[in-house]
Structure 1
Amino acid sequence: MSGSSGRVLWRLLPILLIITALFSLWLSTSREGLDIKPRTVVLDELEESVEPQADIALVRDDQQIMYYGIHVDKVYELSLQSRTFSADGYVWLEWSSQTQRLMVEKGIPPGRLIRLVNRIESWDSTFEPVTDEPVTLSAGRYYQRYRFSSRFYDDEVNFHRDPFDALILPIVTEIAPDEMSNKYEQTLLYPHHHQNGFLGMSGDLSGYQLKGAVLKSYIHRYPSKFGSWYQPEQSQARLEIIYRSDYWSAFVNWVLPLIIVMSVVLLSPAVAGSLGDVRLAIPSTALLTLIFLQQAYHDDLPSLPYLTFLDQLFACSYMIAMGLFALFTWGTNVYTKAKDDEKAAAMERIDKVDFIFQCVSVAAFAAVAVLTWTSTY
């Protein structure tokens, strides 16, 4: 390899590093699914699935309808590390006289009608009927309210856009008796037609903006036959409480420090090429600063199988800082080895490569930000 070819490769090395980083980050984001909810799992040739329940107009004659409502008094003790939160509130059910006859026939007490699916630490939680017997309503209907206070597991966590993410906290209830599954006279849960006021005055969550809540009905198909001959399907009701992080606060806390560090990095080529020691110290210091920033960012997050939006920016920043270090190493060697009458030409060449690197770096950082953000829609 000739000397001129070697110099060309050294000049192109920072640009090649940035292009490689941009391609790898784009490839990693493009492989991520847009919906990360684990709705279907295949185990031992049996599928577990949670699918949206059919419209109430399509309910068959051999199926029962049970209306439900959920009200949450307060939400507290959110832990992103363990993906858990605590909530207190009420669940209520309303059913027909035909469903009541089924319950009497099968010996199903009100306390065994439903269960909290994503409840954890049951030893320190409450889920109990408010009254011992259901209340009789007009037209032969029945009503039962339940009080709950428990810690729940959040299966809706999505940190792809963190720190600009939406947080969904679900409270999941499900028909409990096997006699009300698809094996017998299946009972389906549908939102109560008078349902209102999902959240109480203490529904706010520190650090997040409350955006609303929505009730959804699903059919949960289990992956096991539990020693029987059929694979049970139970109706499931979910209240999803939706919070969103404050964009301005997230920007100031996490993105702004990163932008400041990278601004210093990208302005460092303006330092005279003759000051090699000063130039080499800037990317080294920036790398350490970036590492500490990212570690502090992950202190409150669980281990994730993917990169968040901010992680992608950190990865791109690492590559730019490494490329800048390689560029300054090349520039220092070129200036040091140049003869006295060639130093001006060497400085001009170094400045030209520095300017190209700055332009490519800014374009790469912006491209990574745009591609990462748009790929998570």
Structure 2
Amino acid sequence: MAAVALLLAAMLAVSGISQLDLQRDADADRLQLSALPHRSSIRLEQQRRDGWSSLRSDRMSERELQQDAENAAAATYRVTVGVYATNTYDLDLSVPSFASNGYIWLRWQEPLQRYLEQQQLGLEDRVILLNQLLSDADPGLKPIGDPERLDDGSYYQLFSYLGRFYIDRASFRRFPFTTVSLPLVLEADDVDGVFEYANLRFVPDVKNSGVGLFSGIIGWLKRGWSIAEYRHQYATNFGLGGPAAAYSTLVYDIAFGTSSWSAFWRLILPLLVVMAMVLLVFKVRADEQDARAGIPVTVLLTLVFLQQTYRDELPQLPFLTFLDQVYVVAYVVTLLAFVLVIWIGRRYNELEAMPEGPQRQALAHRLHTLDELWPLSVVGFTTVSVVLCWLTLPPLS
């Protein structure tokens, strides 16, 4: 009864702690997918199967799409943006961030060119990489040549970029079966209030954008890339009065995922091998009580070491990952094994002191039954618990 009570208490504790996850701030900035064309190279069937999409918001309603398309057509300035990542590397999930370099090209019309000439600015002075982190590389966009006027009257300029960038989306809850999105986020640096969402729109160049030959990362599977424009609704007006500010934001990202097979062999298999020791703890001879009691203690220390090893790869998370929950199950099983070893050991001591007779035979039979049922009980409990852990994971957002 004590063992059952301990098991229930542990499960209730884990359930209660899981309810303490912090909820997203309702007053924070938010992104809303716009009506302008967007593209994702990840197949729709794969997105449905994995429950993962590179889009950072739900789609607009039909009415909202129509209104946003009309607003885009009426915008004072429209800038066509194309992105081509040539190199992606140095993925660091503990920050999380990644390094990348490549090319960005911009096309704009005469009204915006007149504004730039009046202000004696280049477009790189008004367009920033919003998620760029501090690094040794020069921040922002680096022009490659001067703006060119094309035959249709529009202006074109090619830029290069290089730096470290913050990662805003990753399926850490499903770790080690993780999908991570590596974004480049472009937005206007609006210092004089002329580039708000109603006045400036970024139009994704869905035809010519893409990824280069060296955009993969060793150890990760490249799933695809996407590019889309969003309405970035800020939660502030920056002290200027009036409604909260909103700006056109272009998000280009490359999605990477872990290999399920590799994750199993690297992180799951060692755990299974360690837990097999707990599974067989009662197969050790009953008269070797010290050996029996030492197995759960050794397993517990090994579990702590294994968990700390993979946790070093991750940032500080406000929730339990799938693998964390599996380790919770392993801790519960190991603790239960230790309690049962102590309890059964005491019963065997009582058995040795009992005289021959039906009572001694009944106790011996009961202890033998426990020894035989333990492996099946562990397999059944662990399987059900791990399946429930996976099924109760919240959907990816």
Alignment of 1:135-284 (within 5 A): 135-177=148-190, 178-182=192-196, 186-196=199-209, 198-230=210-242, 231-284=244-297
**Does 2:369 align with 1:352?**
yes
Q: Give 1:336's aligned residue.
A: 349
Q: Give 1:59's aligned residue.
A: 70
Percent identical residues: 28
Deviation at 1:322, TM superposition (A): 0.5
Structure 1 residues 138, 319: CA separation in 2 closer, same or farther (over 3 Å shift)? same
TM-score, normalized by length of structure 1?
Answer: 0.85
Alignment of 1:260-339 (within 5 A): 260-338=273-351, 339=354
> In 2, distance between residues paired with 1:182 and 1:71?
26
Deviation at 1:241, TM superposition (A): 1.0
Cα distance per residue 1:222-248 (max 9 Å; x no partner): 233223123321111111211111212
Unpaired runs of 5+ residues, structure 2, are 38-65
Does the 8 Å CA contact 1:83/1:157 hold for their aligned counterparts? Answer: no
> In 1, distance between residues paired with 2:266 and 2:225?
27
Does the 8 Å CA contact 1:181/1:233 hold for their aligned counterparts? Answer: no
Deviation at 1:53, TM superposition (A): 2.0
Q: 1:50 aligns with which of 26, 31, 52?
A: 31
> In 1, distance between residues paired with 2:253 and 2:93?
17
Deviation at 1:290, TM superposition (A): 0.8
> In 2, distance between residues paired with 1:28 and 1:354?
33
> In 1, distance between residues paired with 2:305 and 2:136?
39
Q: 1:364 aligns with which of 362, 377, 381?
A: 381
Amino acid of the structure 2 residue aligned with 1:269 = F
Deviation at 1:364, TM superposition (A): 2.6
> In 1, distance between residues paired with 2:294 and 2:136?
56
Larger mean Cα displacement after TM superposition, 108-117 or 131-140: 131-140
Three-state SS of the structure 2 residue aligned to 1:120 is coil
Alignment of 1:15-34 (within 5 A): 15-22=4-11, 24-25=13-14
Cα distance per residue 1:41-68 (max 9 Å; x no partner): 52xxxx5222222346623253143221
Cα distance per residue 1:56-91 (max 9 Å; x no partner): 662325314322111111112222222121111111
Does the 8 Å CA contact 2:145/2:157 hold for their aligned counterparts? Answer: no
| Higher RCO by CA contacts (8 Å cutoff, separation 6 or greater) | 1
Structure 1 residues 199, 251: CA separation in 2 closer, same or farther (over 3 Å shift)? same
Structure 1 residues 101, 82: CA separation in 2 closer, same or farther (over 3 Å shift)? same
Does the 8 Å CA contact 2:293/2:338 hold for their aligned counterparts? Answer: yes
Structure 1 residues 134, 160: CA separation in 2 closer, same or farther (over 3 Å shift)? same
**Does 2:134 align with 1:125?**
no
Q: 2:124 aligns with which of 111, 116, 124?
A: 111
Structure 1 residues 123, 234: CA separation in 2 closer, same or farther (over 3 Å shift)? farther
Three-state SS of the structure 1 residue aligned to 2:290 is helix
Unpaired runs of 5+ residues, structure 1, are 1-8
Structure 1 residues 355, 32: CA separation in 2 closer, same or farther (over 3 Å shift)? farther
> In 2, distance between residues paired with 1:100 and 1:93?
12
Cα distance per residue 1:129-187 (max 9 Å; x no partner): 4345422123222212221111111121331111111121111111223444338x511
Structure 1 residues 217, 65: CA separation in 2 closer, same or farther (over 3 Å shift)? same
TM-score, normalized by length of structure 2?
Answer: 0.81
Structure 1 residues 249, 131: CA separation in 2 closer, same or farther (over 3 Å shift)? closer
Deviation at 1:24, TM superposition (A): 4.9
Does the 8 Å CA contact 2:90/2:99 hold for their aligned counterparts? Answer: yes
> In 2, distance between residues paired with 1:71 and 1:129?
14
Amino acid of the structure 2 residue aligned with 1:208 = W
Number of residue pairs the alignment of both structures matches: 356
Structure 1 residues 256, 250: CA separation in 2 closer, same or farther (over 3 Å shift)? same
> In 1, distance between residues paired with 2:273 and 2:70?
59
Q: Give 2:90's aligned residue.
A: 77
